[in-house]
Structures are given as C-alpha cells and as structure tokens.
C-alpha cells in the first residue's frame, strides 16, 4: 500500500487511517451509541492486517475508553502502526466536557498510560478552545515534543489565523479538519494554506459520519440510538437530509462502475484534493473496514471528480 509523507515529519502514512471515534462507545457527549469492545478490537486488527499503518483517536472519545481499547488491541497484534491522539478536551467526575489548554501535559501522561506506548507519534490539539490560551497550549505541545513524549505535533479544527499564530511558536506537522462533500468549509482557505505551508492534512468525516456510505436512509436515521449524536446533527435533519441522501445515491451510480461502495467514492473525492495527505475513516467492526479499504488505492478520474462537483453545484444545500 502506497504511503505519503505527513507534513514536516518522518511519518509516511497510508492514504487511509483508522478513526477510533465510535470505538469510544456510549455514555458521553458526541457518542455514536453502544459499541462492543470485541468488535472494536477486531476492526483495528482487520485494518492493520489489510495494510493500514496509522490509527487516530482522542482522549475524549469515550472519556478515555477509545485510547484504552486502542492500547489493548495493539498489545495483541504484531503490527506496529503509528498512533495519533488528541488533547484539550477534558472532563470532570460527572463526565461534563470542557476545553482547556492548561492541562495538556497531564493529558499527555494520561494518554501515554491508556495507549500503553512510550511516545505518541502525532499529538494534536483537538479544538483551539479557549482561543486566548492558544499560544500557551501550543508552547506546551512544543515542550512535549522536545522532551520526546510526543514525536510530532499537530492541530485539529484550527482556522487559518489560528494556524498562523501557532506557527510563530513552533512548526505544525499536520492539521485535521472535517472535510467532505457535505462540509466543504476547509476548502477555500484552510486547505490551500496548509498546502502552501507544508502542513499535512488528515481530514476527518470524509463520509460525513455515515451519511455518504450509501447505507444510510431516513428510516435508519429515525432508528438511531438516543445517545447517538447524529440524531440531532443538522445534516441528519430536514431539509438537509433529503439532499444529502441524494448525494449518496449519485455516488452509488459512480461506485457501481467500479464495483465499490458509495463511501469509497466519497473518500476518494476528498483525497483528490492535493492538499489532503490522507483521510480518517472510522469503523465499528471488520465488515466496515472491508467496505472502505478499497479507498486506500482507488482514485477518481478528473472527469469523475468534475461530474461529482457538477452534481453538488446543481444540488446545493437548502
């Protein structure tokens, strides 16, 4: 499986990375509903067996649970993937989540313990909140890198102005924005800035949390668990839902030409952007890994990319 260098690092990563958001399980804000830990471990092992060489998680996913499961899975495989995680989302004894740039050092120690690794390959600030503490937080990240607790440091959900402020303190290896056909907010400024400044981009939610897999329907949305964040997410509600499912249907027609799933086309669309180094693709079990793994090597033609963009332009969001 081909790899690309991530930003200024010595990390050469596959075009797909395994996302561990849903692996955090239920019982916290932004959960995906119940998740079986054995399925999670099987998904991780399947992805690694198929050649994926990096995993992206975060401390807040399941309030530490996702990192623990990743650590457990890596102890039971001979594969040695890169491990990426994130900080700055902290929680109290009641599970209430806030942002803090002041606890990053403690968070790093906690993540190292949960992941059972000696160093984190890429440590990312999850959200630049509160904004006024950005410089303090990024300075701590640079200190952790110099100390060897983390190998490379990156950002997530940063604007161009926030990236510029961080760059004055220390180099940024990568930025992690949401990017999909449904959410193109990073396209006008953030992606070009990262490309120009040698900052790698690993986008999350290329299938917009399942909307563009081709398996979603209005009935399935209505049946989502009560603690699945997607039940109340804007793009899962009308008047957006009908338009988004129409996009997925269009992707199915292109996917049928190649014998792949619609989600593969959705991922490939994001990878077609030259600023994108690789995409984060979540999976809750081996079957989902098998469904998206073709995106690691599949590429859209320029004509197919233009065809999709024409459809999106003709069917704008309400």
Residues identified as active-site: 61
Measured at the CA of 136, the angle between CA 131 and CA 138, to 5 degrees, comes to 85
Q: Could you tell me the two tokens for 129?
A: 């909140």
Q: CA–CA separation, 174 vs 155, rounded Å? A: 6
Q: Could you tell me the two tokens for 83?
A: 């491990």
Please answer whether residues 179 and 186 qualify as being in contact, where contact means their C-beta atoms are separated by less than 8 angstroms. Answer: yes
Please answer whether residues 126 and 56 qualify as being in contact, where contact means their C-beta atoms are separated by less than 8 angstroms. Answer: no
Please answer whether residues 139 and 169 qualify as being in contact, where contact means their C-beta atoms are separated by less than 8 angstroms. Answer: yes
Q: CA–CA separation, 1 vs 12, rounded Å? A: 11
Measured at the CA of 149, the angle between CA 155 and CA 58, to 5 degrees, comes to 45
Cis peptide before 183 (omega within 30 of 0): no
């Amino acid at each position: 499986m081909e790899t690309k260098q991530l930003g200024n690092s010595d990390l050469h990563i596959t075009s797909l990375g395994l996302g561990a958001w849903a692996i955090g399980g239920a019982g916290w804000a932004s959960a995906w509903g119940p998740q079986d830990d054995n399925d999670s471990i099987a998904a991780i092992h399947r992805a690694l067996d198929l050649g994926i060489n990096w995993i992206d998680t975060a401390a807040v996913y399941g309030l530490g649970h996702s990192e623990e499961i990743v650590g457990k899975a890596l102890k039971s495989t001979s594969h040695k993937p890169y491990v990426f995680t994130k900080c700055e989302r902290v929680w109290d004894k009641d599970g209430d989540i806030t942002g803090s740039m002041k606890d990053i050092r403690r968070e790093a120690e906690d993540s190292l313990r949960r992941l059972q690794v000696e160093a984190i390959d890429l440590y990312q600030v999850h959200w630049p909140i509160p904004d006024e503490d950005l410089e303090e937080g990024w300075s701590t990240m640079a200190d952790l890198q110099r100390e060897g607790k983390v190998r490379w440091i990156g950002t997530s959900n940063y604007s161009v102005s926030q990236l510029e402020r961080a760059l004055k303190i220390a180099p940024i290896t990568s930025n992690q924005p949401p990017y999909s056909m449904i959410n193109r907010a990073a396209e006008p400024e953030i992606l070009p800035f990262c490309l120009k400044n040698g900052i790698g981009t690993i986008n999350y939610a290329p299938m917009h949390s399942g909307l563009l897999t081709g398996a979603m329907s209005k009935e399935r949305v209505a049946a989502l668990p009560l603690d699945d964040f997607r039940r109340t997410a804007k793009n899962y509600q009308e008047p957006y839902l009908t338009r988004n499912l129409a996009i997925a249907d269009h992707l199915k027609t292109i996917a049928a030409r190649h014998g792949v799933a619609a989600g593969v086309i959705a991922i490939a669309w994001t990878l077609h952007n030259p600023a994108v180094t690789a995409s984060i693709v979540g999976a809750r079990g081996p079957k989902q890994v098998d469904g998206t793994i073709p995106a690691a090597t599949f590429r859209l033609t320029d004509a197919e990319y233009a065809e999709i963009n024409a459809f999106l332009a003709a069917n704008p969001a309400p």
